[in-house]
Amino acid sequence: MHSQMKLSAAQFRILVIFNSLGDTILVVPGSLTADSKQEAWIPAILGVGVGVLLV
């Protein structure tokens, strides 16, 4: 027997935020630093900042 569980709006919001931040921290800085070579820290910080603003 399957019991149905419902997420509250706050729980859903937290899941979406954590998922977006995780993707942003892993994907965006990596792709930007591949092109920037020595100044890799700049796009990494910008990528995380933009990700946080989007969330």
pLDDT digits (tens, 9 = 90+) for 6-47: 889 888 888 888 887 777 777 766 666 677 667 777 777 777
In whole angstroms, what is the distance from residue 32 CA to residue 14 CA?
27
**Rg of the chain over all Cα atoms, to the nearest angstrom:** 16
The four Cα atoms 32, 33, 38, 43 give a dihedral, to 10 degrees, of 50
Residue linked to tokens 């910008």: 46
Please state whether the predicted TM-score (pTM) of the whole model is above 0.75.
no
